[in-house]
Structure 1
Amino acid sequence: MKLTSKISHYDSRWPALFLTEKERIAKGLGTELVGIYHIGSTAVPGLAAKPEIDLLIEVSEHRNEPTRDSFMSALGYIRGSDLSAGHHFYRRDIDGVRTHKVHVCVSGHWQIERMLRFRNLLRNDPAIRQQYQDLKFELEASNRGGIAEYLAKKAPFIDALMGSRPSSAK
């Protein structure tokens, strides 16, 4: 098994790719849209990453999901399993390579604050950013179980920095 894509050194085009996708997606979200944020490693200048643009979409509520799913499908996205109650997930692959991941969370969802806080910590702390990058390359080199294994082995590092998930969250 392999990761969804190979980790590469930071690419200064990633912020522009985010902005392009943000504009495409925002057109179809209507009045439920609160904000669209660049998250994940591609949002951290200088950090190596799988070249997959991560977007966090905050919505006031999950309204008319079939319409949203159709709109996202027209943009090339496939809806994955919900990651938790109120946290929907979409992915886009081009020619079998993952290019984008979209998290759609209702305002107040615990993951919004956590994802933004982790991104900001990596942006603002060079030592933690370097530790995280070293871990990612190490996990990629030793990976035998694919993306699930990679994510599971990154989780303790992230949890140690961020605290574990609130017990009230599903």
Structure 2
Amino acid sequence: MKLTSSITDYDQSWPRLFSEEAGRLQLVFGDACINIHHVGSTAVQGLAAKPEIDILAVVSNACSLDDWQAELTGLGYRRGKDLMEGHHFFKRDVGGIRTHKLHVCVSGHSQITRMLGIRDHLRSNSCDRRAYAELKLRLEKENRTGIAEYLAGKAPFLDELYRKDQKKT
């Protein structure tokens, strides 16, 4: 079964696409926004990825989530299933093609450290970056049931990267 997008070689336009979208999102979150980060594989130069810009918005509180959701809908986002308690997920498609994934977490949430740690590890470790690209391409090729299977296949590798990163600190 096909994933939400096919994995492609790294695209030099991904950082620019992130920056443009971060500017739009900053207006939505306003004063509650602490930071907006480019995360996921499109944030790692040289890493093959699904061309879907992953964005992490760190906010001071989620009290305005309903208001933000209405504004995000106006920007083309729709609510996805929350990934865990306090980790809110939105997705944006343009012309039926997934272009952006937005993670919204309140400052201090464990997923913030995890996403940034994995991203930073992959940015600085070419061996792990290569191994991750190979794993993703193999999982895409072998995939039979869709995105959940693909994500489950990547999880042990990402868990190990995070453990490596945590041992450094």
Taking structure 2 as the reference length, the TM-score comes to 0.95
* 1:69-115 deviations in Å (ceiling 9; x for gaps): 00100000001111111110000011221100000001000000000
Shift of 1:7: 0.2
Contact 1:38 1:56 in 2 (8 A): yes
Give the Cα–Cα distance (whole angstroms) in 2 for the partners of residues 20 and 14 of structure 1: 10
Who is 2:60 aligned against?
Answer: 60
Contact 1:44 1:122 in 2 (8 A): yes
Who is 1:110 aligned against?
Answer: 110
State the superposition RMSD in angstroms.
1.1
Shift of 1:160: 1.6
* 1:14-39 deviations in Å (ceiling 9; x for gaps): 00000000001101112111000000
Partner amino acid, structure 2, of 1:80: G
After superposition, residues 102-141 of structure 1 pair within 5 angstroms as: 102-141=102-141
The count of residues paired between Structure 1 and Structure 2 equals: 164
After superposition, residues 138-149 of structure 1 pair within 5 angstroms as: 138-149=138-149
After superposition, residues 7-156 of structure 1 pair within 5 angstroms as: 7-156=7-156
Partner amino acid, structure 2, of 1:145: T
Give the Cα–Cα distance (whole angstroms) in 2 for the partners of residues 119 and 103 of structure 1: 14
Give the Cα–Cα distance (whole angstroms) in 2 for the partners of residues 8 and 137 of structure 1: 9
Partner amino acid, structure 2, of 1:33: C
Give the Cα–Cα distance (whole angstroms) in 1 for the partners of residues 123 and 65 of structure 2: 33
Taking structure 1 as the reference length, the TM-score comes to 0.94
Give the Cα–Cα distance (whole angstroms) in 2 for the partners of residues 3 and 33 of structure 1: 31
Aligned to 1:91, the other structure's residue is in SS state: strand
Give the Cα–Cα distance (whole angstroms) in 2 for the partners of residues 156 and 66 of structure 1: 34
Aligned to 2:36, the other structure's residue is in SS state: strand
Contact 1:52 1:101 in 2 (8 A): yes
Structure 2: runs of 5 or more not aligned: 164-169
Who is 1:167 aligned against?
Answer: none
Partner amino acid, structure 2, of 1:47: L
Aligned to 1:29, the other structure's residue is in SS state: helix
Structure 1: runs of 5 or more not aligned: 164-170
Give the Cα–Cα distance (whole angstroms) in 2 for the partners of residues 160 and 66 of structure 1: 35
Q: Which runs of 4+ in 1 moved over 6 A?
A: none
